[in-house]
């Protein structure tokens, strides 16, 4: 298939929501605000500040109102939040337009995995399907011109095993038909893979098959967890197919307490994906250097190392940033941070070569 790599993409940074929801609820609000402020300086176009979920089930989000009240928005950034029901919407909408929850698209969504639907949403798959008629009817009443659909656990489940392409297409068809019955085309589709079953080939075959069956779907949005380490490759495949909307988080923070993998079900690190996009000539709006600094702040905030690579090794050096040929050994992560801290971090290391001598590797 001919490459359809986009000129630009929108990368929503989900650190404050997806990342912090799985971290300690004891992290001080002042530290969360410090991280949110740093994220706002990175050039992000969209930042989720957290979720208006019940604190009993997501204790790390118990301070969401305080964060919403206290944070200072950065110009040019659209701040959003995750909401799961009408009560959550009402809580979040108190902070509009500082937090924009009103521009959410009417969306029908279903989990292929009934077990995960029950664990994560306390609703069965059948209940999700039954709710679609009301969503579509409400959208039609409001004069919505295009519908949106969302498929959860599209590739497989820790509780039910892998799902074939035919099952994915069956669920997409069910949702598309609901919108068509109301005379509304479907223009956007999201994938939510909380259990990290994605792989590059399954992402490719799915997007290609959906486009072939429903060419009206123009925009794809991917929220794929990185549980098995393959998601940046899956995102690369998606870029080749022209996908323009992705979710990531600083340092790969993230996870779902209901999927069985905890923090290991993280995201693609924002800084790593931005680096890949820039190397491919894709505009993101992000400043990679500021993203790296935000990743180090994130490690300080959560109190443990994160999983990003570019924040540790730095971007590919070019021009004046090339490493000095006679630099001594660099072994530790602290010494490797010379790209941001300067050569003093490796002072005192052994250096068995001298300027002008042959170097051995």
| Number of structural domains the chain divides into | 2
For residue 4, tell me if it sits in a domain: no
Q: Which runs of consecutive H residues, i.e. helices, occur in 59-199? A: 64-70, 86-93, 114-121, 125-130, 132-141, 165-181
Same domain for 267 and 330: no
Domain that holds residue 360: 320-361
Same domain for 217 and 324: no
For residue 289, tell me if it sits in a domain: yes
- For residue 191, which of 111, 251, 282, 264 has the smallest C-alpha distance? 111
Supply the pLDDT for residue 102.
82
Contact call for residues 353 and 325 (beta carbons, < 8 A):
no
- For residue 325, which of 296, 289, 361, 298 has the smallest C-alpha distance? 361
Same domain for 331 and 280: no
Q: Could you give the CA distance from residue 198 to residue 238 in angstroms, rounded to a whole number?
A: 11
Same domain for 220 and 187: yes
Q: Could you give the CA distance from residue 132 to residue 292 in angstroms, rounded to a whole number?
A: 41
Same domain for 348 and 302: no
Supply the pLDDT for residue 1.
46
DSSP β-ladder status, 107-111 and 78-82: unpaired
Same domain for 351 and 259: no
Residues 151-183 as b/e (b if ≥16 CB within 10 A, e otherwise) read bbbbbbbbbeeebeeeebbebbeebbebbbeee
Same domain for 126 and 81: yes
Contact call for residues 294 and 41 (beta carbons, < 8 A):
yes
Same domain for 349 and 284: no
- CATH number assigned to the domain comprising residue 251: 3.20.20.70
Same domain for 297 and 253: yes
Supply the pLDDT for residue 357.
54
pLDDT tens-digit profile, the chain (361 residues): 456 999 999 999 999 999 999 999 999 999 999 999 999 999 999 999 999 988 888 899 999 999 999 999 999 999 999 988 888 899 999 999 999 988 888 999 999 999 999 998 889 999 999 999 999 999 999 999 999 999 999 999 999 999 999 999 999 999 999 999 999 999 999 999 999 999 999 999 999 999 999 999 999 999 999 999 999 999 999 999 999 999 999 999 998 889 999 899 999 999 999 999 999 999 999 999 999 999 999 999 999 999 999 999 999 999 999 999 999 999 999 999 999 999 999 999 999 876 655 555 4
For residue 345, tell me if it sits in a domain: yes
**% helix / strand / coil in the chain, to the nearest 5?**
40, 15, 45
For residue 5, tell me if it sits in a domain: no
Same domain for 188 and 62: yes
Same domain for 327 and 181: no
Supply the pLDDT for residue 358.
53
Quote the pTM value. 0.94
Dihedrals phi, psi of 144, to nearest 5 degrees: -60, 135
Same domain for 211 and 78: yes
For residue 117, tell me if it sits in a domain: yes
């Amino acid at each position: 298939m001919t490459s359809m790599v986009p000129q630009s993409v929108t990368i929503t940074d989900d650190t404050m929501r997806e990342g912090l929801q799985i971290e300690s609820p004891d992290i001080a609000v002042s530290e969360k605000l410090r991280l949110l402020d740093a994220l706002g300086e990175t050039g992000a176009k969209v930042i989720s500040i957290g979720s208006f979920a019940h604190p009993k089930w997501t204790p790390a989000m118990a301070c969401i109102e305080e964060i919403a009240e206290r944070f200072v928005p950065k110009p040019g950034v659209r701040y959003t939040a995750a909401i799961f029901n009408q009560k959550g919407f009402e809580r979040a909408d108190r902070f509009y337009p500082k937090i924009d929850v009103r521009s959410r698209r009417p969306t029908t969504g279903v989990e292929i995995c009934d077990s995960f639907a029950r664990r994560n949403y306390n609703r069965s798959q059948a209940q999700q399907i039954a709710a679609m008629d009301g969503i579509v009817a409400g959208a039609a009443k409001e004069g919505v011109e295009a519908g949106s659909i969302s498929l959860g656990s599209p590739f497989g489940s820790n509780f039910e095993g892998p799902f074939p392409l035919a099952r994915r297409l069956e669920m997409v068809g069910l949702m598309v038909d609901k919108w068509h019955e109301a005379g509304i085309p479907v223009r956007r589709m999201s994938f939510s893979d909380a259990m990290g079953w994605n792989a590059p080939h399954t992402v490719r075959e799915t997007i290609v098959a959906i486009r072939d069956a429903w060419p009206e779907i123009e925009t794809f949005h991917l929220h794929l967890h990185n549980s098995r380490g393959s998601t940046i490759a899956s995102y690369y495949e998606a870029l080749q197919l022209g996908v323009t909307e992705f979710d990531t988080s600083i340092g790969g923070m993230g996870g779902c307490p209901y999927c069985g993998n905890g923090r290991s079900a993280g995201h693609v690190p924002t800084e790593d994906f931005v680096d890949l996009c820039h190397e491919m000539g894709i505009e993101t709006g992000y400043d990679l250097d500021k993203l790296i600094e935000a990743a180090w702040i994130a490690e300080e905030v959560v109190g443990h190392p994160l999983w990003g690579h570019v924040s540790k090794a730095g971007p590919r050096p070019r021009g004046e940033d090339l490493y000095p040929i006679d630099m001594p050994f660099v072994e530790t992560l602290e010494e490797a941070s010379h790209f941001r801290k300067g050569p003093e971090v490796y002072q005192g290391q052994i250096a068995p070569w001298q300027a002008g001598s042959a170097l051995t590797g």
